[in-house]
Amino acid sequence: MSERSFLTQFVQAGFTRIEVLETARNKRTRNPEAYVVTVSAQKASTELRAPLKKMLRPTLSCDSAARTLQELWIFPVAPETCNLGCTHCLYAASPKNRNPYRLSAPELSGLLNQIEALGAKPHFLFTGGEPTLHPELYDFLETLDTKGCSFQLMTNGTRIQERSADRLSKLAHLRKVQISLESTDPKINDSIYGQGLHDRVLRAIETLREKGVPVTVAVTPMEVNEQELAAIEALAAKKGADVKYISLYDLGAARENGLKPPREIPTGESPIDAELMCDKGVAYSEGAFYPCPVLVKEADKKLGATLEEALSPRSRQKVTQLRKSHSACQVCLKGST
Amino acid sequence: MNPRSDIAYYKVLDPSGRGPVATQEPTCLYLEVTNECNLACKTCPITYGKVEEPASLSLEQVKLLLSQFSAVSRVVLHGVGEPLLNRELAKIIAWLKEKSIYVLFNSNGTLMNRRWGEALIESGLDEVRLSLDTATPETFARVRGRPLFDLILKNIRGLMALKKEKASATPLVSLWLTGLRETLKELPEFIRLAHSLGVDRVYLQRLVYWEGKHDDQMARPEQSLFNSLREEEEEIIQLAQELASALGVSFEASGATTPIASLARENQEQPWSACMRPWTLMYISARGSSFPCCIAPFSTKDLNSLSLGNAFREELAAIWNGDKYQEFRRRLLSEEPPECCKGCGACWSL
């Protein structure tokens, strides 16, 4: 039996983190082909089985940042800074909030220097809050494009105009623009976003697609729209956009409004295949790093002010502990995000 | 066997020796290093809904796959996405080159900046095929969506200059044009453009269309030129051929055939049965799915019907001659081909 087929048996039996520690001739028999192989492997509970992919990709660390830091979430404005006040927002963002934080150009270039020092090439996800409220956002994106960094923009779409779409379409390293849409029914969407916004969001998707920008429609399945998902997928396909499902977290406005998750969580991929956000990268918000974009408003979840601290063994330990206890982590572990 | 020649791979076996069981290991692997793209072309199915959940192959995964076959001499590093979105691509190539494997991939060229150029030359990459598709910025924006034509030209010029600067013969660079009714008329201009960029290889690619009803979808049967060449279109190809030979540009079609032959195929009773891919190559997606070939994921949205196994859960050898692969090969040789092969040789390429 080859070493590979030997190890495959462990994979098939549901083990992960399989490692050959030692291979030695079996001296108890005369067969020259008999070996004793010492293997270390972990078997997680079947429900939350670690993905096979993870077995092949080591845990985030400074030493392996070039390989393991796949994503970096950036909040150009504070998470609660938004021109909308959606009922399902995990940050309870709203135009009423007055957090003055704006990512500065020197701050961004400091971040880029830290990344370069570690040899990492993460994909940048600009999110919020509403990132387009940052007056220099497009300049930042152009800087990243010139530097050859891959990035995407998550926006509610309401501020996307002909001119901004034009600017975005010229950025080769912009992988996609992600726009939230919760229903094909204007009434349902408006009840979540606010009056008249359904049409504006659809217009933004169309404007971007006319300019050839790849668009992903982000849908948060909830009790209120769970019958709508097939219709949203069809609408997105018709518009030339992809669909991504986002989990509903019992935080912020969603908690205040008592929003309920769908009875059945639609997952495009099985949890076994899904890598969690905290496996793939870290989030940067208001001057500090956090395990993921979901937890950026929880000060005690801070991993540090530098990327090095965020990727340190201590931080990784903290993330592992969090995953055992935090209710938001349980949401990620159960469904795809 | 010349690894550059596609035909060597697809027709390496005696066709009459083909049966449900493959008697030799694949010699070519298609590895979809990523299924994500920075463009959303109107000719591509991923514009209208993803094929699989986003993923990229890691070097470790590539090693795991390659360790399972010993006869692989050619690896094609593309699938439905843009390979340059895989951050580990240069490392993957360098590792494959250490094993003396011929490595190539297709790219849209938009991300091919100096840094990538340097990394790819250093990696030892043998060949890169750039899908430019049009000869003018206007048509490019119409077909490919984004106004990045000039950027790609800049990138190609940069790559050619870098090769000269480093005195590197590789990667071989070629330009590709997917033959749509809209783009074919630009073919002579396309060849002139290639020549002016210092690129001496041009390929004509057939359009794989699918049934879909999206507002702006361009990959439609009426757009395809396969088996429906009009006289003026044949003239354009003739003209392009003459121009190419005058300029010293080689002009071929995908699948190592002549441009006209690639678009006009004689009627056969079971055109799909001429295919050799299921006996010579394996295609592994970024999620580990094993599909019959690189065209199959474009042919249908029903991926379950296509998948012959998962390379991260099963051994490749077990997939290669597993029940599903055997059934697939048996049907390909029959009058009732698998769904994804029905159009092949009949509506589009072999």
DSSP A297: T
Judge whether B163 is closer than 8 Å to chain A, CB to CB.
Answer: no
What is each CA distance from B317 to A222, B69, B285, B322, in whole angstroms? 43, 8, 16, 8
The C-alpha atoms of residue A302 and residue A315 are separated, in whole angstroms, by: 9
Judged against a pLDDT cut of 50, whether residue B86 lies above it is answered with: yes
CB contact under 8 A, A4 and B40: no
- Which helix (H) or strand (E) segment is B289 a member of? none
**Structure letter (DSSP) for residue B174:** E
Average pLDDT of chain B to the nearest whole number: 85
- What is the least distance, in Å, from the CA of A39 to any CA of chain B? 17
Q: Which residue among B40, B48, B68 places its CB closest to the CB of A4?
A: B68
DSSP H helices in chain B: 6-10, 59-66, 89-98, 114-123, 137-144, 149-165, 181-184, 187-197, 231-247, 259-263, 277-280, 296-299, 303-306, 316-320, 323-332
Q: How many residues does chain B have?
A: 350
Tell me which of A53, A60, A169 to substitute to probe the interface with B (most B C-beta atoms closer than 10 Å): A53
The span from the CA of B194 to the CA of A26, in Å, is 63
Q: One digit per residue, pLDDT tens: chain A, 337 residues? A: 555 566 666 666 666 666 677 777 767 666 666 667 777 666 544 333 333 444 455 789 998 898 889 999 999 999 999 999 999 999 999 999 999 999 999 999 999 999 999 999 999 999 999 999 999 999 999 999 999 999 999 999 999 999 999 999 999 999 999 999 999 999 999 999 999 999 999 999 999 999 999 999 999 999 999 998 999 999 998 899 989 888 899 999 999 999 998 887 665 544 444 678 999 999 999 999 999 999 999 999 999 999 999 999 999 999 999 999 999 998 888 765 4
Residue B10 burial by CB count (10 A; 0-12/13-18/19+): exposed, middle or buried? buried
Choose the mutation target among B47, B144, B150, B320 for the interface with A, i.e. most A CBs under 10 Å: B47
Please report the pLDDT score of residue A276 as a whole number. 87
B339 in contact with A at a CB cutoff of 8 Å? Answer: no
> What pLDDT is attached to residue A73?
98
Question: pTM, whole model, 2 decimals?
Answer: 0.84
pLDDT at A45: 41
- For residue B147, the chain A residues in CB contact (below 8 A) are 169-170, 211-212
**Which residues of chain A have a CB within 8 Å of the CB of B40?**
209, 212-215, 240
**3-class DSSP state of B13:** coil
CA distance B297 to B81: 11
Taking contacts as CB-CB distances below 8 angstroms, the residues of chain B near A148 are 111, 113, 115-116
Nearest-Cα distance to chain A for B47, in Å, is: 5
Query: What mean pLDDT is predicted for residues B316-320?
Result: 94
Which tens digit of pLDDT belongs to each residue from B21-69?
998 899 999 999 999 999 988 778 777 776 788 889 989 899 999 999 9
A229 touches chain B (CB under 8 A): no
Greatest distance between any 2 Cα atoms in chain A: 81
For residue B151, which residues of chain A lie inside 8 Å, CB to CB?
172
Cβ of residue A162 closer than 8 Å to a chain B Cβ: no
Write down the ipTM of this complex. Answer: 0.84
| pLDDT over threshold 50, residue B185 | yes
A262 Cβ contact list (under 8 Å, min separation 6)? A221, A222, A223, A225, A226, A248
Give the per-residue pLDDT at B255.
Answer: 55
Q: Determine the Cα–Cα distance for residues B150 and B37; give it in Å rounded to an integer.
A: 19
Of residues A305 and B15, more confidence is placed in A305
For helices B114-123 and B89-98, the axis angle rounded to 10 degrees is 20
Q: Rounded to whole angstroms, what are the CA distances from A115 to A60, A67, A141?
A: 13, 12, 16
